[in-house]
Structure 1
Amino acid sequence: MIGLGEGENFLGSDVAAFVEHTRNALAIGQDEIVAITPEGVEVTDFSGAPVEVEPFEVTWDASAAEKGGWSSFMAKEVSEEPEAVANTLRGRIHEGQVEIPELDGMDEFLADIDRILVIACGTAAYAGMVGKYALETWTRVPVDVELAHEFRYRDPVLSARTLVVSISQSGETMDTLMAVKYARSRGAKTLSICNTQGATIPRESDAIVYTHAGPEVAVASTKAFVAQITALYLLALHVGRVRGAIDPVVAVEAVTELEAVPGKIARVLETEQSRIEQLAHWMADTRSVLFLGRNVGYPIALEGALKLKELAYIHAEGFAAGELKHGPIALIEPGQPVFVVVPSPRGSGEMHKKVVSNIEEIRARGARVIAIAEEGDVAVLPAADEVLRIPLAAPLFEPLLAVVPLHIFAMGLAEAKGLDVDQPRNLAKSVTVE
């Protein structure tokens, strides 16, 4: 990235390196050369021909990339989850319906797609799995979610009516970048969901939907994760409207739910954070934690497990709750901590009953159950050892709330073990090699 100042110019791997000096930036593309002096910047290709590069303005200031009194960047970024969702919604909702300005000119294509393929890695892939439920519900288009590093090695079926959605916080994830290039070479349209202006993946894509989470410094993604889910929900509502696949009344209800999410996440942080941190400190010597979820709660179980692996360096696994009797229940022994993401009884009452039954089964075998359940759900009380409450929300929107206690817990457990939550061992913020 190039920072454009007055009488000075800057070269850095990210705009955070120079944003305290200038907010005006250039993104340099593949196979381009930059000559930089205090007076100017010249970009050419390898043959020496000039390359026109459009400057852009960084929309956050230097203080956004500083701790600002917090114990860690991760603690700060968890506290910013409500703001990340609100900022991602901003400017994309008009009179109760979603209109994404970045997709102007694509509506004709979006109305004719016959398949959506989401590609990502790690936490971003779990965001994609959550988004799949909303995309299929509101667009009535089949959706697959694939790990980017597996995608191009299996000769995937793509066509001109396939929309490939890539998700990357940094926009530089090499596996995802190569998958995007492969998809374009096979004739598919590509859309990037990214948090970093001017990054490589957005530049290689046909369209971009930026999340506006602000700079995320901690390696383990938190606020970018909820912003990615929010962007996917906006995309689903936009495509559903363009295709005429979503009832306008349902769309308005969904928008209302989305707009309420930031306030509800803030309530979780306000009412549950200190209790979850205390619980994490009590469990500092824990060596294994299991996570169960069903439907949209399943990817959240996977995300909870990944955060513990990244931050606390302990064995952690996420399972679909319905899989319990198909193998994972063999792991249950006395004292085994199990987090269960409980679906709302107001959605599919049948699914709620089955998850409560799962809780009873593992509790009978000696597990210690920590349930994440909505306010007023009393059915979980006799079965769970601890109940962490989230505000009432429509079932599709519960993941944005249920993941917050898991982020807090992973951070708290790592801190209780004296570990660096911002820079876990062996990990980098952006994976730029395959």
Structure 2
Amino acid sequence: MNGIVECKGLEKFEHRGFKVLYKGSIENKQELRDWLLEEGYTLNGEKDIELVAYIIDYLYNGNLTEATRKAQRKIKGSYGFAITNASKAEVVATSNNHPLVIGLGDKQNFIAFDLSSLLSYTKKCCLINNGEICILTPENIVIVSPTGEVINKEEFQVSWDGTMDKGKFEHFMLKEIYEQPDGFKTNLSGRIKNNKVKIEGLELTLEIVKSWKKIAIVACGTSYHAGLIGKGVFENLLHIPVEVEIASEFSYRAPLVDEETLVIVISQSGETADTLVALREAKKKGASVLAITNTLNSTINREADYGVYIWSGPEIAIASTKAFTMMLLAEYLLGIYLGQIKGSISEEKANMLLENIYKLPETASKILAEATQYQKIAEKYYQKENAFFIGRGFDWPISLEGALKLKETSYIHAEGYAAGEFKHGSLALVTEETLMVALCVQQSTYEKTLANVKECKARGAQILALALEGDKEVAKIADDVIYIPRINNFVAPILTVIPLQLLAYYISKARGCSIDQPRNLVKSIVIE
């Protein structure tokens, strides 16, 4: 298909001279099939992409743009497609509730359904909004509205500096894990002056900050785990209640948010469909919305009232690593920023936190320098088929994230639990074949976590513990211990997750898995 970047995760289909690239989900599929059958059209396939091709073929009268416009009026759902006909040297593309990006090159132009796919070809782009139709040739681009008026689009330059090759690393996931110390430096650069946090583009007043009586954090997957850490950060620094919601549930339970609520949405891509729906629901109810994302000019950033970028650069591996830690750092900086405006955080506490945050690049580098121990541990445990991650306090959300990293890359069944909850039923699953990863970093709950670990050990589980340097007690119980440098416990979650990322990587490698592209998964979920 001339001029189209054929991205991984896209469906491709050819039918009667039409070639289609498609991504998304059609909601009124049966209605459309019934309509075509009533019109006497023969249907041979069941897939959404086939249905798009059939509809275009039926509506086509020599004008592909007009056929696309008519098709778009009929198709309901979250989708994007690009289509060409063998008789014409043009590609027509459109989308609905789905990202669509045009890349501008030298005598060549590109279509993609996410921004990162274009970066190997061009960094000069423009965004296509819902319902708009783009007609591409190698030399020209025309964008029209749903009613046919030509639209002049503003171009922008993507500022990501990250390279799209693996460099000296075997996989993108490992490369991105090792990019975290530099990512911390980038995020801190220019954001702290005279021990005051300043976030570019964020100019909030005391009146605005004080008007927010509660915070609701809404996200999916890894971003949801970041939100759970954010809950503890914001409640501690702002002294207001914080709820954390799974985005796919938020909009369907009549959420209690209003003009006195700050809704924080977190999405690496800025295009996550469930999170975008939640954002729109929150704004309908009058809430202020702040987006934490990694993608400039994403839909979520454009629709939010405020934005904080995590500046982690392009993340290619499906399993998120550096974006997660940069989300956490963004939450800490945002919490201190709002707390300093509100006066809810003392100067002494802010200085202490910032001092520890400044240590992150150095301490993360120390963890990464010990990679050989993770390879040895992976060789010991890679044949396990069940693993549980437990922790209390801030260690609990990190246990959820550690379990997610292991399951999505190695296909080992892994679950994260609040350590105190594990005995309420899940303890029945523990056998001598169970791997128990125990996070023992948070000191305020250390003794209770250790007691939970002993319960699992007594039932035959093999214990892999994660603890602070110098912890001798946990070594008496665990089969293996991974130590991280000592750092203030409030900031520790940003570091605690890095060993779990390395563990997932090396176990997956030992099992021979497709680390960067795990089965059944895509990087950005753009359908509900």
Q: TM-score, normalised by structure 1?
A: 0.93
User: Closer, same or farther in 2 for the Cα pair 1:52/1:317, shift >3 Å?
Assistant: same
1:260 Cα deviation from its structure 2 partner: 1.2
Q: What residue in structure 1 maps to residue 519 of structure 2?
A: 425
Cα distance, 1:53–1:396 mapped onto 2, change above 3 Å: farther
User: Which protein shows a greater Rg?
Assistant: 2
Pick the aligned partner of 1:325 from 423, 427, 433.
423
Residues 6, 313 of structure 1: CA spacing in aligned structure 2 closer, same or farther, 3 A cutoff? closer
Per-residue CA deviation, residues 60-95 of structure 1 (Å, 9 max, x unaligned), is: 24x622111311111111111222232222222111
The whole-number CA distance in structure 1 between the counterparts of 2:334 and 2:186 is 15
Higher RCO, 1 vs 2 (CA within 8 Å, ≥6 residues apart)? 1
Paired residues of 2:223 and 2:266 also in contact (CA < 8 A) = yes
- Cα distance change, pair 360–84 in 1 and its aligned pair in 2 (3 A): same
- Aligned to 2:475, the other structure's residue is in SS state coil
CA deviation string 1:234-275 (max 9, x = no partner)? 11111111111111111121112112112211111112x211
Does 1:190 pair with 2:277? no
Q: Report 1:18-417 matches (<5 A).
A: 18-36=118-136, 41-49=141-149, 51=151, 53-61=153-161, 64-105=163-204, 108-271=207-370, 273-345=371-443, 348=444, 351-417=445-511
Measure the CA separation in 1 of the matches of 2:191 and 2:128.
28
Letter in 1 for 2:187: T
C-alpha offsets along residues 105-149 of structure 1, whole Å, 9 cap, x if unaligned? 565322320111001111110010011111110111211100000
Matched residue, 2:12:
none
Give the Cα–Cα distance (whole angstroms) in 1 for the partners of residues 372 and 132 of structure 2: 50
Matched AA of 2:419:
A
The Cα RMSD (Å) is 1.9
C-alpha deviations, 1:17-56, integer Å up to 9, x for none?
A: 4434543322222233345556665544323456564433
Q: Deviations over 1:195-250 (max 9, x none)?
A: 11111111121111111111111111111110111111111111111111111111
| Change over 3 Å in CA distance of 1:192–1:52 after alignment to 2 | farther
Whether the 8 Å contact between 1:96 and 1:256 is mirrored in structure 2 is no
Distance 1:240 1:51 in 2: 43
Three-state SS of the structure 2 residue aligned to 1:356 is helix
Query: CA, structure 1 residues 403+201, in 2 after alignment: closer, same or farther (shift >3 Å)?
Result: same
SS at match of 1:326: coil
Asked if the contact 2:384/2:433 (under 8 Å) is kept, the reply is no
Moved more, 309-318 or 297-306: 309-318
3-state DSSP of counterpart to 1:69 = coil
Cα–Cα, structure 1 residues 252 and 321, in superposed 2: closer, same or farther, change >3 Å?
A: same
Counterpart amino acid of 2:351? V
Contact 2:271 2:526 in 1 (8 A): yes
In structure 1, distance between residues paired with 2:192 and 2:104: 33
Matching of residue 13 in structure 1 with residue 135 in structure 2? no
3-state secondary structure, aligned to 1:87: helix
Mapped partners of 1:205, 1:30: distance in 2: 17
| 8 Å contact from structure 2 (residues 224, 266) kept in 1 | yes
- The 1:161/1:283 distance shift into structure 2, 3 A limit, reads same
* Structure 1 equivalent of residue 18 of structure 2: none
Percent sequence identity over aligned pairs = 40
1: CA distance, partners of 2:283 / 2:140? 34
Residues 211, 155 of structure 1: CA spacing in aligned structure 2 closer, same or farther, 3 A cutoff? same
Aligned mates of 1:130, 1:156 — CA distance in 2:
21
The 2-side partners of 1:35 and 1:253 are apart by 55
Aligned residues between the structures: 428
Q: Identify if the C-alpha distance between structure 1 residues 294 and 344 changes in structure 2 by more than 3 Å, giving closer, same or farther.
A: closer
Secondary structure (helix, strand or coil) at the match of 1:46 reads coil
Displacement over 6 Å in runs of 4+: none
**C-alpha separation between the residues in 2 aligned to 1:111 and 1:24?**
40
Unmatched 5+ residue regions in structure 2? 1-100
Is residue 332–residue 366 contact of structure 1 (8 Å, CA) maintained in 2?
A: yes
Deviations 1:312-351 (A, max 9, x none): 1122111111123322222222242111111344xx2xx2
Amino acid at match of 1:143: V
**Structure 1 residues 23 and 337, CA, compared in 2 at 3 Å: closer, same or farther?**
same
Tell me how far 1:382 sits from its aligned partner.
0.9
Contact 1:111 1:239 in 2 (8 A): no
- 1:190 and 1:205 in contact (8 A); partners too: yes
CA-CA distance at 1:282 after TM superposition: 2.0
The two structures have a TM-score, normalised by structure 2, of 0.77
Contact 2:120 2:164 in 1 (8 A): no
1:14 Cα offset (Å)? 3.3
C-alpha contact (below 8 Å) 1:84/1:224 kept by paired residues: no
- SS for the counterpart of 1:419 is coil
Distance change in 2, residues 1:50/1:268 (3 Å): same
